[in-house]
Chain A
């Protein structure tokens, strides 16, 4: 059964407090070459039958209206993996 992966990231111009905390931890452990960390979400949606255009259209709709909040996040990728 195919799986459709939806990647959601906090908007680039907005503060990402979790990413900032991880960046601080990296700096404290001596990994100083990384200037920024941002944390997003990965959703894996498994579908019965082929991941055809109708399914992908529905996933795009779900991604925009439930999986992400366009006030604070962007859907950065929707990919089909088998």
Chain B
């Protein structure tokens, strides 16, 4: 099982995503934004960061990178793709996921250990969770405010495309319907603003009710995609 992680100019968490893939039991394959080559990986992660300094719109320029041609095509054939934070912004800019992500309603960068509720546990990246399970994942962003027009929002909710919702009584950025992450209808493309790759090793994860820095809920996402890939292989 090989998970590719694309590095763009301004990616910050590509190495963390590679580490998460390895801790989950996969081989991590570094991919380069300027290549038209996915190197035959079984899944792709678009990592967090500030590609191109968030110029134009967050994720907009990276969404038009060379490798995105291959990613959009492969996603259409069912390749699992996970967009984390800036990667989620790229997925909406590439129209692989609906809606848009704009500046946080309170105008501030926010960093917190955030409670999420798993809304859709049938995707390639979330089937290891229970439906309705509450998990803790760190988040850190300035442009995580999810918006969509009424018609799109109705479709997102009607088709069960909400993968994660902010929970624990906190909507940290003003996102419509408390939306923290989405899936496509097929369930192979998932994007979320919080960072599951930062919650994969006890001692280095988010604080939980159990203990400081003990959270490893993010590992489930990487294990889910490994398990799904091995099942279908």
Contacts and interface: CB of A to CB of B under 8 A. Distances in A.
Interface of A: 10-11, 13-15, 17-18, 20-21, 66-67, 69, 71-72
B57 A71 contact: no
A71 B148 contact: yes
Given A17-B102, A72-B100, 5 more contacts: A15-B174, A17-B103, A17-B104, A18-B107, A71-B152
B115 to A, nearest CB: 23
B100 A69 contact: yes
B110 interface: no
Contacts of B102: 10, 14-15, 17, 72
Given A66-B64, A71-B100, A15 B145 contact: yes
Range of interface residues on B (Cβ < 8 Å):
20 to 34
A21 B147 contact: no
Contacts of A10: 102
Contacts of A17: 102-107, 145, 174
Contact of B149 (A13, A15, A21, A69): A13
11 contacts: A14-B147, A15-B102, A15-B147, A17-B104, A17-B106, A17-B174, A20-B107, A69-B60, A69-B100, A71-B99, A72-B57
Smallest CB-CB A-B distances: 6 pairs: A72-B100, A71-B100, A17-B103, A21-B107, A17-B107, A14-B147
Contacts, number: 43
B93 interface: yes
A32 B155 CA distance: 40
A69 B57 contact: yes
Contacts of B92: 71
Interface string B175-207: 000000000000000000000000000000000
Nearest to B148: A71
Interface in B97-121: 98-100, 102-107
A14 B147 CA distance: 8
A11 B102 CA distance: 12
A35 to B, nearest CB: 19
Interface string B134-173: 0000000000010111001000000000000000000000
Contacts of B174: 15, 17
A66 to B, nearest CB: 7
A15 B105 contact: yes
Nearest to A65: B64
Interface in B61-113: 64, 92-93, 98-100, 102-107
A1 B91 CA distance: 37
